[in-house]
Structure 1
Amino acid sequence: MTTHRSTLLDRDLPPDIADLPAVLEWLAALRAQAPVWRDRYGMHHVTRHDDVQLVLRDHATFSSDFSAVMPGSETMTKGMLTRLDPPEHRALRHLVSASFTPRRVAGLEPRIRELTRRMLDEAGEAFDLVDTLAFPLPVTVIAEMLGLPAADHPRFRAWAEGLFSMQVDDPKEAVNDPRVRDAMGEVTTYLGDWCRARREDPTDDLVSALVTTEVDGRRLDDEEAANFSMLLLFAGHITTTLLLGNAIRVIDGNPGAWASLRADPSTIPATIEEVLRLRPPFPLTARATTRDVDISGITVPERSMVMPWLLSANHDPDAHPDPERFDPSRPGIGGGSQLAFGHGIHFCLGAPLARLEARVALEEMTARYAALSVGEGEQQPYTSRVLGTRHLPVVTT
C-alpha cells in the first residue's frame, strides 16, 4: 500500500475528475502522506477536512481576491461575489440575501413542484434526466428570479457547459486564455444588456435589484451587475443540475435505496446531504494567501494559490467514519462538517434553493415511480471543475 500510494504521489497534476475512483484514491493518498501538495503550476492542494475548513473560514489569510496572484483577474471578476473579500463581499451579499432567505425560498416550493410535475408528465417511461428535469427545473426557477426569458434557456445551458468543460493547463493563466475571455464576454454582454434595460425600467426581479439598490452609498455599474448576474445564473442552476444527477447515480448504486425513499419520504433531506457529501457538485475551490501560513506543518508562502478540496474533506475518515459508505442516517450529516456548499463567509448563498429543488424533485419522482434506474447510453461526465454528467438516461417503472 505504501508503494502504491507513493506512485500516486509521483504525478504532478490531479487525476481527471471524470474518473472519480482514481481521484478518491489519489486524495486518500494525499491525506495520508502529503496533506498539502504542490502541483506543477505551484497550486497548493489542501485535502484534510480540518485544513479545508480552516482555509474556508479564515478569509483574512486565504483571500478570494486573486488579483495579487493572477494579474488581470480583476477585469473578469469585478462585482462577482465569490471573488470578493469583506467589506465589499458583505455589502454585495446583503444586496441579494433577502431573495435567498429560508422563508423566501420556501415560498418557491409550489412553483418548483408545479414545474417538476409538468416536466415529469411529459417524460415517458425512459428519458434523459438532465434534459427532462435536472437542467430545465433549476434554470427555469433562477431565470424567473432574475427576470430572464424562458426562450433563452438553451443559451444558458450552452454557456454553462462550455465554461465548465473548458480545459486550461495553468489555472493562473485562465484569465488570459482567449477562450475563457470570449466565453465570459458573450455571457456578460447579454446580461449587461438586461442590466441596462432594467436600470431604465426596473421590475420585481433580481437583476432590477442589482442595478437599482445602493451598496455602501453607490450603485453597481453595469459591468459589476452583469458579473454578479452571471454568477447567480450559473450557480443557481448548475448546482442543482449536478446534484440531481449525482443523487440518482448514488441511489441507483445502492440497492434498496429507492424503495426506502418511497416508503419514508421524510428521509429524502438526509439522503440529499449524504449525496452532497459523497459527490459535491464543486469538488474544489480556490483561495490566495495574504501571508506565509502553516497548514499541517507545511509552510505555504504569501501570494500562493491554495486549492481546498471539498470532495476530499467530505471523504476524510477523521470527519466521516467509513466515508465511502452511503449512509443517510450518518450522525451530523446536515451539520457544518459536510462542506459541499463551503464554509464561512462564502457559504453558498443558493444552498437552501438547491436543497429545496432536489427535495421536491426526489419527492415527486419517488411518489410517481415504483423504481428508477440508470439506463444505457452516454452520460458524458464533466472532465474539470465540476462533478457530474451532462446526460443521464434513466428507466422507470
Structure 2
Amino acid sequence: MSSELLTGDPGRETARRARRNQLARTAQWFAGLEADPYALVLRTGTGAPEAAEEAVRALGPLHRSALPDTWVTAHRAVAEEVVGHPAFDAPGPAATPGGGRPPPFRSAVLALDRALDRATAAALAPLTAFGGPLLWAADADSLEKRTATWARTLLAGLGERFDLAEDFARRLTGPVLAEQLGLPEAAHERFCRLLPDCRHVLDSLLCPQTHACARAAQAAETAMAGLLAEALHRPTAETVRASLVTALSAAEPTAVLICNAVRLLLDRPGGWQRLAEDPDRAAGEAVAHTLRTAPPVRLESRAVRSAVTLAGTPLPVGARVTLLVAAVNRDPPAEPDARPFGLCADLHFGLSAHLVEALARAALRTLARILPDLRADGDPVTRLRSPVLRAPERRPVAGNPVF
C-alpha cells in the first residue's frame, strides 16, 4: 500500500517526498564541499568526473564515503569480487539495515531487481535471450539487421543537421525494443511515448532527480508495466517483469553508448573515417572500445546480503558498495586486453546487455554508411544529475547523407 494512501493526504505526502529529494541532493553537494571524492562523482554536473574517480582510487582498494554511507572502489580485483560473490546480492538500502535511506522516487522495478537471488535471475534471463520466448530476433545478426532498417528510416527524415542524442539514438531504441518484445503495432506508439520519461531511472538509483523528472519517471514506469501486462503475448508476472526490466535497462544505456562511441570516434584523428571505410569490422571494435573507456553505465551499486570481508574490511549486512566502472577499466593492473568491466550480468543487465551492444553496433554501422562525413556541429551538453550514465542532453552533429 502506498504511503499516500496511509496518510490519506496525497498532496502532503508528495510535498514531504519532494523535500526529502531536495535534502538528499543537498547532502551529496555538501559532502563534496568536504572533499569527499565519491560525493564529487555524484554531484558532477557537466564537468568530467575522472579526477574525482582517481581520487577515490588513491584512497586505497576500498574507501568509505561517510555522508553517502557507501563503500567505494576503483580497483578491478575488488570490483570483480563484488559482482562474483553471493554476499552482494541483497536488495538496496530501503530494505536493509545500516544502508542509509535511498533517494525518493527511484525506480521500483530496477531497485527491486537487485533483490533477485541468482536462481531467480538465472530463470528470468532466458526469457530475453535471443531465440527466447520474449524476443523476436533469433540471434544478434537478426536484431542488427532490423535495427539498421529502423536507423535508415530515421536518418532519411533528419536532413544534414540533427541532434544525435534526441533525434537519433533515443528515437531508435523505442521502436526496436517494442518490435523485439513482440508488442502489437497498436501498442508501439504508446510504448515509444512512455520510454523517454523513463530515461532517468538508472541515475535515480543513486542520485535524487528533480521533482518533476522523478514524478514523470514514476508515472511512466507504472504506465509501462500496465501496457506490457496488456500487450505482451500471453503475459505472466515473470514475462512482464523481464520485459519491463529489459526496456528500462536497455533504452537509455543504448542511446548513451551510441553517443559516446560517436564522440570518441570524432575526437580521434581519422577515427570516423576508418569506421566509414569498414563499418562491418570497425563498429564492433568501436563499441568494445567505448565500453572500456566511456561506458554507458559508470556506477554499479550492491548491498551486502550476509556479513563478508572485502579488501580486508569487514562489511555488515546492509552495507553498500559502489563500483566506479570507468575507473575500474582504467585500473593499471588490468591487462590491456581484459574484457571491459560494465553492464554486469548479475543484475538487470543480465537481461539486456546483449541488446544494448547489438543495437549500438547496428546504429554505428548505419551512421557510417549514410553519413561518412559526420562531424560535430556545436557544443555537446551533458545532462545534469546523471552520475550513473553521464547521459548526453544534446549532441549536435552534421553530415551529408548518402542513401
**TM-score normalised over the length of structure 1:** 0.77
Query: One-letter code of the match for 2:224?
Result: L
| Structure 1 residue 17, shift from structure 2 partner | 4.3
Mapped to 2, the partners of 1:27 and 1:237 lie a distance apart of 26
| Structure 1 residue 277, shift from structure 2 partner | 1.0
Mapped to 2, the partners of 1:101 and 1:35 lie a distance apart of 43
Contact 2:200 2:213 in 1 (8 A): no
Q: Deviations over 1:295-323 (max 9, x none)?
A: 223332332011122122112121155xx
Contact 2:383 2:392 in 1 (8 A): yes
Contact 2:161 2:399 in 1 (8 A): yes
Contact 1:56 1:62 in 2 (8 A): yes
Alignment partner, residue 160 of structure 1 = 198
Count residues with an aligned counterpart. Answer: 352
Mapped to 1, the partners of 2:110 and 2:266 lie a distance apart of 42
Mapped to 2, the partners of 1:75 and 1:275 lie a distance apart of 26
SS at match of 2:39: coil
Query: One-letter code of the match for 1:264?
Result: D
Structure 1: segments with no counterpart, 5+ residues: 1-6, 199-206, 213-219, 322-330
Q: Deviations over 1:45-73 (max 9, x none)?
A: 12101111110111x21114232246999
Mapped to 2, the partners of 1:90 and 1:167 lie a distance apart of 23
Percent identity between the aligned chains?
22
More off after superposition, 385-394 vs 178-187: 178-187
Mapped to 2, the partners of 1:273 and 1:380 lie a distance apart of 22
Contact 2:292 2:340 in 1 (8 A): yes
**TM-score normalised over the length of structure 2:** 0.76
SS at match of 2:314: strand
Contact 2:202 2:249 in 1 (8 A): no
Query: One-letter code of the match for 1:63?
Result: D
Alignment partner, residue 28 of structure 1 = 54
Q: 1:395 to 1:320 in 2, by over 3 A?
A: farther
Alignment partner, residue 303 of structure 1 = 318
Alignment partner, residue 64 of structure 2 = 38
Alignment partner, residue 364 of structure 1 = 366
2:75 to 13, 26, 48: 48
- What is the RMSD computed on CA atoms of the aligned residues? 3.4
2:96 to 53, 68, 83: 68
2:170 to 135, 140, 145: 135
User: Are 2:290 and 1:275 equivalent residues in the alignment?
Assistant: yes
Mapped to 1, the partners of 2:286 and 2:175 lie a distance apart of 24
Mapped to 1, the partners of 2:84 and 2:113 lie a distance apart of 16
2:226 to 170, 193, 200: 193
Q: Deviations over 1:179-211 (max 9, x none)?
A: 79844542343234335535xxxxxxxx335x2
Mapped to 1, the partners of 2:395 and 2:239 lie a distance apart of 34
Q: 1:31 to 1:236 in 2, by over 3 A?
A: same
Alignment partner, residue 271 of structure 2 = 257
Alignment partner, residue 379 of structure 1 = 381
Mapped to 1, the partners of 2:327 and 2:197 lie a distance apart of 28
Contact 2:74 2:327 in 1 (8 A): yes
Structure 1 runs of 4+ with >6 Å offset:
70-75, 177-181
More off after superposition, 129-138 vs 188-197: 188-197
More off after superposition, 128-137 vs 98-107: 98-107
| Structure 1 residue 102, shift from structure 2 partner | 8.3
Structure 2: segments with no counterpart, 5+ residues: 1-32
Q: Deviations over 1:59-116 (max 9, x none)?
A: x211142322469999934995443113222222233332469843322233211111
Query: One-letter code of the match for 2:220?
Result: V
Mapped to 2, the partners of 1:351 and 1:75 lie a distance apart of 19
| Structure 1 residue 338, shift from structure 2 partner | 0.8
SS at match of 1:113: helix
Contact 1:372 1:395 in 2 (8 A): yes
SS at match of 2:309: strand
| Structure 1 residue 247, shift from structure 2 partner | 0.9
User: Are 2:305 and 1:290 equivalent residues in the alignment?
Assistant: yes
Mapped to 1, the partners of 2:296 and 2:284 lie a distance apart of 17
| Structure 1 residue 31, shift from structure 2 partner | 1.9
